[in-house]
Structure 1
């Protein structure tokens, strides 16, 4: 019997979800399997360069209907303010007929999904297996998706919860309350996720046993589903695209391990005062730095939002950049010694697999959980201390960076040692390939209705 399968992929319309799905698609395609990737038309243009196997991965563009509240042309989370997420979910739901028509015609063996819980019904109707793919941390899933979770007990560990260190607590509980807000017509993200996880055939998670094993076991016990781990599925570096000369030449000016690199992802847009505090905090470290962030709210460029006199003061040792940068290649440059990040799940893995000291400045719920996992469980990083307003001061940012960059710092040396040990574990020969191989083998058995042990 031919073990090659055809998989559909239908992620939530946000690049933080679509990109990991596409990296996973590349892993499947590399093994000879076919993938049909369903996404909004505009997103296809932005992501098709990441398709490493165009013969095996075909994009299926979806037409996004007009929904009250959504700006004209909005198709992904990057096109809207966070407050409009529910309207985008409604637009996603309106693609159901398109998705079902594609499944009916192309007859996939597997359908990978996340927030569109109705995919499980389509899969059952047409004889496909449904796979809920969690592209964020298992720790976040344990805190935000377990049955019985309520808005009023987010800081209370669910029965059997494997670790109190990662739980939200105190005023931070509000950071996760959005999962109980409307998410599409008559639904919440929490209800969608629990329904999808309960009704799917298999749960898959973008993580590894070594880092999040106990959280994966907990999810398996909660949902009574087989849990398959993909590993972090970070993309292979493109050897045909070296670091841009602009950054390579600039970084070459500084001593090894001396530069602080700060990147907060593509979806975080700071208020102007927050943006300025970030810039001033980097200046206060006294170290060379490269900051890659979106322009602050209300500004068309980062230069418009800079503090008065800032550029003149830091022109020899600092750069604030408002465009895209090659983050993995910058982290790999010998001059970069510290990575300040929002701790999105992709950046979390990239930091863990780099040689840089790690400082986290999380914003949203899963980023806070990822930060706690890295800082309190693995003890490989530090978090910037915040005040009651949930915002940081330039002084606190500077203190956090200096605490890991100072060669005489006890904290800095401890997280450096722990980081080195974890990196050695994760770079153990064949570990990541083993995860992919076992994952694909399990999917092949699932398609052939062979019992998964």
Structure 2
């Protein structure tokens, strides 16, 4: 896209527009904080109900402004709830319907703000065309691993034009996929992947939306790095034939608030690096059988553990826990196990000296948090890209262990949990073993502040060149 001479004297101005899920909002926030610290003006779009929480996440800066959006009324979507955190999966899909209805509102705002770039998310497939018509560039920001994009949302994924893959076809990588440890996925994982090829509420499926956004954007921005995913990054470049700029998995600033006293006191009872912290994120809900087997598996390890369980907002938490937990469980583990519900200070807990193991759903941001706090990774993915993230860390990178599960339905039992923990504990107690060494190297790379600053500075320079304001 040709540069606009009217912009040549302007500071680089970027609009950030993530989807209304905090798993997407958080990476956009982290990138915004990094860019604003390098003098970039940021206008951050989000639903009005999220503004207060965003203020606590975004660094206070004169160059950073939150722009509240009005979510239109959509039948079935509760009023006043404007992120997926408080919605069931069906309601969350309605947020995409609402997003499509917001196009006139977004066009008006962009016309007023006149940014150089609009950085957008997977759901806003219509943004590239709108941005082009308004004389600005669009940037697709992928908050997923390059592996997830390469395996699922490239043009080569379709076995033939206008035909989506079957469950057997989606078990295997697309044509010309790089030769790595990821050669196939289990049947239950492939069944989950088929979701992205299904239409809902009369709108286009996730695959079509993502592909349209990736194809239509001026630039693809990826939250990854060559040190972790070079083969997949190169494959994505070959599939789309456009610049793929790398942000690297941005590490959030260390938390400033101290850990809540009751949790700090509880954790301090135990030896260094002996506690298993187990959490699946705020929007993942295990069923009763999964909770039972997970709890029994943690009990069998003999190690102290901190288990976080979450339930949909319309559920009675006490009743859910009573029904799901094994009989007599709380009494048997009262001296070495604790269960929390709702939001907890995850980063502070992972950073506590007694925490040594992190059993998680393999959300990409969660994995990074575990790596940089020296928490040995045990993964039990639940949906979507988490399955591929898990294979990346346990296969290619060899910095974690994945819980073994049954191929057809993904069932895991208490012994599978115990075995996975034992496997990582054995390596943890024997210096020089692969997982510990690999994680140490990756941690050093991720925490190299000088290198990260250089990557962000280079990104700003590249954007300035595209915008026609380099050297100003």
Q: What is the TM-score normalised by the length of structure 1?
A: 0.93
1:50 matches 2:57? yes
Asked whether the 8 Å contact 2:9–2:469 carries over to 1, the reply is no
Q: CA deviation at 1:195?
A: 1.0
Are the counterparts in 2 of residues 3 and 444 from structure 1 also a CA contact under 8 Å?
A: no
2:418 equivalent in structure 1: 398
1:370-381 aligned within 5 A:
370-381=389-400
Equivalenced residues, count: 450
Higher relative CO (Cα under 8 Å, sequence separation at least 6) belongs to 2
Q: CA deviation at 1:354?
A: 2.5
Structure 2 stretches lacking a partner, 5+ long: 1-7, 159-164
For structure 1, which segment, 200-209 or 268-277, has the greater mean C-alpha deviation from structure 2 after superposition?
268-277
Contact 2:362 2:390 in 1 (8 A): yes
Say whether 1:433 aligns with 2:431: no
Instruction: Indicate if the aligned counterparts of 2:13 and 2:40 stay in contact, CA closer than 8 A.
Output: yes
Distance in 1, matches of 2:26 and 2:299, equals 33
What displacement does 1:72 show?
4.0
Kindly provide the CA deviation profile for residues 136-186 of structure 1, in whole angstroms up to 9, marking residues without a partner as x.
111001112100423222233323212453354240211211111115643
Q: Select which of 239, 246, 252 maps to 2:268.
A: 252
SS across alignment from 2:155 = coil
Q: How many Å separate the matches in 1 of 2:98 and 2:253?
A: 33
Q: Which residue of 2 aligns with 1:94?
A: 101
Counterparts of residues 61-76 of structure 1 (less than 5 Å):
61-76=68-83
More deviation in 253-262 or 148-157? Answer: 148-157
Alpha-carbon distance change, 20 to 202 in structure 1, aligned in 2, over 3 angstroms? same
**SS state at 1:254 partner:** coil
Query: Aligned residue for 1:369?
Result: 388
Contact 2:198 / 2:205 at 8 angstroms: preserved in 1? yes
Matched, 1:107 2:124: no
Q: Partner of 2:161 in structure 1?
A: none
1:319-359: CA deviation from partner (whole Å, max 9, x where unpaired): 11002222222222221111101010101211222312110
Corresponding residue for residue 286 of structure 2? 270
Unaligned runs of 5+ in 1: none
User: Does the 8 A contact of 1:143 with 1:167 survive in 2?
Assistant: no
Which residue is equivalent to 1:193? 210
Output the CA distance in 2 between the equivalents of 1:119 and 1:267: 27
Q: CA deviation at 1:264?
A: 0.6
User: In 2, distance between residues paired with 1:161 and 1:405?
Assistant: 33
CA contact (8 A) 1:180 1:189 kept: yes
2-side partners of 1:334 and 1:431: how far apart?
A: 27
Helix, strand or coil: the match of 1:363?
coil
* TM-score normalised by L of structure 2: 0.90
Equivalent residue number for residue 26 of structure 1: 33
- Partners of 1:89 and 1:375 in 2: how far apart? 33
